[in-house]
Every structure is written in C-alpha cells, then in structure tokens.
C-alpha cells in the first residue's frame, strides 16, 4: 500500500471532477490510501464519494476570492491553487510522505508542491491546455493572459509525468506547448460501473413530470455556453419539421446539467436556454434539470432513448461513455473526444454542429426502433472492450508501478550518497 494525494481546484460536479474521483477509486481499489485537497468543496454540489466518507477531503484556501470585481478569474484560480500547493508542501507532504501527488487543471501548483522534500512524484492530468480555454479579447486581455500562458507551459514541464484524456488532447497539447518535448501518455477516463450496477434506476415519472409513453432524448452537460446547449434546442425544433405529427407528439427532450448557484455563467446561461425554448415555442416539450443527483442521472440514462451531446472539440466527454454503458445511442459532434468513443452509424451518429444534421440523426432513431437496439448493444460492447473501469484501473496501476520504481531507485541513490559521507 502507498499513499496518494490528490489536489484539485474545485471538487464539484463536472467531467474533470468525475475523472479525479474515479482515479482515486481506482487507486483505492488496488489497496492504496487516498486523500483529497481542494480549494472548494460544497457537500450539496459534489459527487457522492466526496461527501460520504469514501475519501478524506480537506479544503484549503477557500477564503481567497474567486475573482476581483468579476474579473481576473484565472489569476485568482491560480493563486488559490498555489496557496493550496504551498500549504501541502509545508504541512502535509513532510508528515504524510506520499509516493504520488495527482494534480490536474492548473499546472502552476507543481513547482510549489516540489518545494517539499522527499522522493515523491507529481503526475499532472491535462484535460486541455488552459490557455486555449479562454476567449480572445483585446490588447489588455492579451497582456493579462501572456504571463499566465507562459507560466502554464513552464510549470507543466515540471511534472514528472503528464497524462491526457484522448489522442485529440495529446495533439492539442503538443501544438500548444511546443517547448515541451516529452510526449504525454493517453489515459482514457472511465466510469465507476460498480456504482451504476448497485443503483436501482427509478421510474422516470418519479424524477420528472414526463409520461412513460414519451420518446426521451437526453442532454447532460454543465450549463456553460461552450457546451453549445442551444444546438440541442434548435435541433429539437428542427425535428418538428421532419417527423410526422404523431411522432412529434411523443418526443421529449430532457436537459440536465451541472448548475452551481455561485457560478454566474451557470445562472445566466440557464435563463438564456429557458428563454430560447420559449422563443422556439417548444418549452412545453423540454424539461430542464439543475444538478441531478447521481442516482437521478442513472435513472435518466436508463429511461432515455438516446443521448444528444452537443459540445464541439470536447476534450474527451465522459457522458457518452455513460450512455453507451446503458446501451443508448449517442448523437454527438464530429470533432474532439467523441470521435474516439462514438463510431458513426455503429454506436450512434457523428454530426456536423448544426440543427439540421442533429435533427436528421434524431429522426432516424425515432422512426427506427431496431436501430436503437443495434446501436445500443454495439455501444456497450465498445465500452467494455475499450473504456471499462477495470482497464482504467490497470492503466493507472501500471503508471503507479513505474513511478514507484523511479522513487525506489532515487531512494537507493540517496542511501548510497549518505554512506559515502
């Protein structure tokens, strides 16, 4: 058994958070001791494993503001993580003596973690280069971002091992960080299927006021503009012009997503989407859900007919895997991570990011029930072959074994040097 510490900015609900929780579960499954350190953890807005005692969670630096007058969010996030890393280096690492520190999202914490003494290794999981996630701005924005972007590349190179979530992200990483010559390892995320197996899905009517006879399309994504959720609404409106009146009367779209009440964009975009649904005159056929609980999400996946996944250039996308596990076809944009998980016209459809392309794919599933069954079974088979939790666990365990060997060799060298003295 070894000790592994995780450092993550905000242990809430999202793809990055699901990844680190699943990685911790994978290490724990192999008998290792795991603990989390984070800048923010709200027990009412997090995954169950982080609040039910599965892991020890310690919050550090939540008193530092997230922004200054609504601006400088990136700089504040970096300062919060630097503070947490320095705290760990000074107080935690010397006492707990971890073999591995697993951090993600913000690389500026790495040099501060390495201020601590000891033969531990730092793994950085790069979901996507942060400098590519920010929107373009004027000269002041460029001046503000320039040092942050430079520091991101400089500090990412300080990690002992960098992991990325897809071949797509690996290509983006190498293009974005051209001074870093080491090639990152690809570690596909997975899902905690044990929890899925042990949770009994509820009837849909116990979660949302939708009839059991409805053909349910499901969208699951955080309420963020970059997720292009408007595409799902516009495609659903376009679907009306393709289907017969009888088929149109039985389709329904559920839009469920992570919603943090202290996140201004979440609040603004939720209102934008509900207003758009009213403007398109489809609000009576749309159900919006905020931050469904884990068991509710399982019930939604179990009861829907297909998943509609709208982000373009998504780094990986964990929700399509969850849908494939439940034998549901996935309709996704033909770019980014979904091109590595979804096989077009085998496990679902890869579409251009426009309402006509999505609506056409949706109409094929409504009019052909056999297609749903065939795509669903193929999706489950693909998940079990390429993206199972066991495969994810073994890959992480292999990485840990190699890092442990490096630590052992370092300790041996240190011991020999002491003998010489």
Backbone φ and ψ of 408, nearest 5°: -60, -40
Q: What is the per-residue pLDDT across 362-406, written as a single tens digit (0 to 9) for each?
A: 999 999 999 999 999 999 999 999 999 998 999 999 999 999 998
Share of the chain above pLDDT 70, in %: 97
Cβ pair 328, 376 in contact under 8 A: yes
Confidence of residue 420 (pLDDT cuts 50, 70, 90): low
Question: d(Cα 223, Cα 273) in Å, to the nearest integer?
Answer: 9
Question: d(Cα 42, Cα 263) in Å, to the nearest integer?
Answer: 13
Give the three-state DSSP class for 167.
helix
Name the residue with tokens 């999706």.
Answer: 379
Cβ pair 177, 158 in contact under 8 A: no
* pLDDT for the residue 407: 85
Model pTM? 0.81
* pLDDT for the residue 162: 97
Question: d(Cα 168, Cα 410) in Å, to the nearest integer?
Answer: 34
The total of other beta-carbon atoms located within 10 Å of residue 199's CB is 15
The total of other beta-carbon atoms located within 10 Å of residue 30's CB is 15
Q: Angle at Cα 237 formed by Cα 263 and Cα 291, nearest 5°?
A: 25
Contacts of 365 (CB under 8 A, 6+ apart): 305, 306, 329, 331, 371, 372, 375
Contacts of 368 (CB under 8 A, 6+ apart): none
* pLDDT for the residue 417: 60
- pLDDT surpasses 70 at 243: yes
Q: What is the per-residue pLDDT across 308-360, written as a single tens digit (0 to 9) for each?
A: 999 999 989 999 999 999 999 999 999 999 999 999 999 999 999 999 999 99
* pLDDT for the residue 213: 87
Does an H or E element contain 50, and which? Answer: none
Question: d(Cα 162, Cα 146) in Å, to the nearest integer?
Answer: 23
Which of these, 106, 143, 138, lies nearest to 124 by C-alpha position? 106
Which of these, 101, 109, 119, lies nearest to 23 by C-alpha position? 101
Question: d(Cα 41, Cα 35) in Å, to the nearest integer?
Answer: 14
Question: d(Cα 375, Cα 166) in Å, to the nearest integer?
Answer: 23
Q: What is the per-residue pLDDT across 156-215, written as a single tens digit (0 to 9) for each?
A: 999 999 999 999 999 999 999 999 999 999 999 998 888 889 999 999 889 998 888 899
Question: d(Cα 201, Cα 203) in Å, to the nearest integer?
Answer: 7
Q: What is the per-residue pLDDT across 50-104, written as a single tens digit (0 to 9) for each?
A: 999 999 999 999 999 999 988 888 899 999 999 999 999 999 999 999 999 999 9
The total of other beta-carbon atoms located within 10 Å of residue 200's CB is 9
* pLDDT for the residue 134: 77
């Amino acid at each position: 058994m070894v000790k592994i510490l995780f450092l993550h900015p905000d242990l809430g609900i999202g793809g990055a958070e699901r990844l680190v929780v699943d990685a911790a579960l994978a290490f724990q499954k192999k008998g290792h001791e795991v603990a989390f350190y984070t800048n923010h953890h709200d027990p009412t807005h997090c995954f169950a494993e982080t609040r039910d005692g599965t892991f020890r969670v310690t919050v550090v630096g939540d008193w530092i503001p997230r922004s200054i007058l609504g601006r400088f969010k990136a700089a504040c996030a970096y300062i919060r993580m630097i503070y947490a890393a320095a705290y760990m280096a000074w107080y935690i690492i010397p006492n707990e003596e971890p073999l591995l520190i697993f951090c993600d999202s913000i690389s500026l914490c790495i040099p501060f973690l390495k201020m601590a003494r000891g033969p531990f290794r730092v793994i950085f999981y790069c979901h996507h280069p942060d400098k590519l996630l920010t929107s373009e701005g004027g000269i002041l924005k460029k001046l503000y971002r320039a040092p942050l972007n430079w520091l991101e590349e400089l500090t990412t190179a300080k990690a002992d091992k960098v992991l990325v979530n897809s071949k797509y992200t690996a290509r983006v990483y190498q293009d974005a960080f051209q001074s870093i010559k080491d090639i990152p390892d690809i570690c596909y995320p997975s899902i905690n299927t044990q929890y899925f197996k042990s949770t009994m899905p509820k009837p849909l009517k116990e979660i949302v006021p939708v009839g059991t006879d409805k053909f349910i399309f499901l969208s699951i994504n955080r309420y963020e503009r970059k997720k292009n959720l408007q595409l799902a609404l516009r495609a659903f409106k376009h679907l009306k012009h393709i289907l017969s009146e009888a088929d149109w009367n039985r389709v329904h779209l559920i839009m469920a997503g992570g919603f943090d009440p202290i996140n201004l964009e979440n609040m603004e975009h939720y209102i934008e989407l509900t207003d758009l649904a009213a403007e398109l005159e489809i609000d009576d056929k749309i159900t919006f859900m905020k931050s469904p609980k884990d068991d509710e999400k399982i019930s939604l996946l179990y009861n829907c007919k297909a998943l509609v996944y709208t982000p373009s250039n998504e780094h990986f996308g964990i929700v399509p895997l969850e849908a494939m596990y439940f034998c549901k076809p996935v309709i996704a944009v033909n770019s980014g991570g979904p091109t590595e998980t979804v096989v077009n016209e085998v496990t679902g459809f890869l579409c251009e990011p426009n309402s006509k392309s999505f609506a056409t794919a949706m109409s094929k599933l409504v009019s052909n029930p056999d297609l749903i069954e065939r795509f669903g079974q193929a999706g489950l088979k693909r998940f079990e072959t390429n993206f199972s939790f066991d495969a994810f666990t073994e890959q992480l365990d292999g990485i840990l074994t190699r890092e442990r060997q490096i630590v052992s060799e370092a300790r041996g060298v240190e011991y020999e040097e002491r003998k010489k003295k």
